[in-house]
Amino acid sequence: MHDAFHEKTLATLARLARLRIDPGEAAELREKLELVIESLRRLDELELDDVEPMTHADAGRNRLDEDVPEPAMAVDELLRNAPATEGRHIAVPKVIDAGREDGDESSHDHRGRP
């Protein structure tokens, strides 16, 4: 398979995506990315000159139901369905980071973990 993602390229992609990739997982991740690139290359081989470009994946129309107010979901029921909570609030991961003091721009690994 074409070596599209050598270590430097993977490191650059990780930095741009602000991901921290464990060195032990880098080879596996590189292989998966190479499979994606190979699949995209196969699309280049298709003859598409007579195919009309699409503007939407679905040619259907949006369904516009009547806007009818309904009672809100109970907070306890809502929190039971949340993946994580903090008190009576849904906990969400921090997505905006001002940067780290150690200069490492990556704030999460490729699974989204700090």
pLDDT tens-digit map of 10-31: 888 889 999 888 888 888 888 8
* Angstrom distance (rounded) from CA 113 to CA 106: 11
pLDDT of residue 58: 78
Query: 1-48 belongs to which CATH class?
Result: mainly alpha
Close Cβ partners of 112 (under 8 Å, ≥ 6 residues apart): 93
pTM over 0.75, yes/no = no
DSSP letter at 88 equals T
**Domain residues of the chain, as ranges?**
1-48
Please say if the pLDDT value at position 72 is more than 70: yes
Kindly give the interhelix angle for 23-44 and 7-16, rounded to the nearest 10 degrees. 90
The answer to whether 21 touches 14, Cβ cutoff 8 Å, is yes
Q: Work out the mean pLDDT of the chain and round it to a whole number.
A: 81
Question: Dihedral of the CA atoms 50, 51, 53, 56 (nearest 10)?
Answer: 160
